[in-house]
Amino acid sequence: MPIERAVPETGPLSHTAAAQELIAEIRATRQKIPNFTIPDSLRAKQSIAGVAAIPPPFVERAMVAISNSPALVRQGAPEPERIRDLMSYAAAYDAYADELEAMASFVRHSIAAARHQAASEALTTYALAQRLAKIPATADLAPHVADMRNALGKRVSRKTKATPSTPPVAPAPSPVMPPPSNP
């Protein structure tokens, strides 16, 4: 069952202002997330993904080895506690990222539902106007029907099947081998 919030009837300008306010809140949240970074290129996420996918138990085993073996301690490398803190951060904020992605999905669905409702009403009006424009008493609707038809553009009907542009190729016959001759 969808969850719908009662929204007061407002104009497009107030929707824009409300959306901009939410965007500002989201951007302000960036300051609250520790270690928050913005990728510096399109490939940045790809370049770190392989190593970032290393299983956490492996990372923990490496930290145990560093803690128990002085030969593994490297100059300038973070302490095992810092590495464990980074892994804890990753686990905690992964759930937060999942929630944000779910929220984005729900917002996209809400947008599609609003567009669907508005477009359904418009299509119903168009169909009614088409019928009424054919009646002499309401023939003045014909220019509106033409405007709506132009704005709708060409649509592909679901009833028509697209014909393939190239005919299907028949399979090549298999080669016939002559029977072996008996000498």
CA distances from 142 to 123, 134, 148, 153 (A): 15, 8, 10, 17
> 173 lies in a domain?
no
> 22 lies in a domain?
yes
The pTM for the full model equals: 0.65
> 158 lies in a domain?
no
Residue 86 has pLDDT above 70, yes or no: yes
Number of structural domains (the chain) is: 1
> 92 lies in a domain?
yes
> 179 lies in a domain?
no
CB atoms inside a 10 Å sphere around CB 87 = 14
Which among 32, 41, 50 is positioned nearest to 93, based on CA atoms? 32
> 3 lies in a domain?
no
Residue 126 near residue 152 (C-beta atoms within 8 A):
yes
Which residues are CB-neighbours of 87 under 8 A, at least 6 positions away?
56, 59, 60
Domain that holds residue 105: 12-152
**What is the Cα Rg of the chain in Å?**
32
Residue 143 near residue 132 (C-beta atoms within 8 A):
no
pLDDT of residue 115: 97
> 178 lies in a domain?
no
pLDDT of residue 114: 96
Residue 71 has pLDDT above 90, yes or no: yes
Which among 19, 1, 13 is positioned nearest to 107, based on CA atoms? 19
Pick the more confident residue, 168 or 33. Answer: 33
> 164 lies in a domain?
no
> If DSSP codes are grouped into helix, strand and coil, which group holds residue 165?
coil
Q: What is the mean pLDDT of the chain?
A: 87
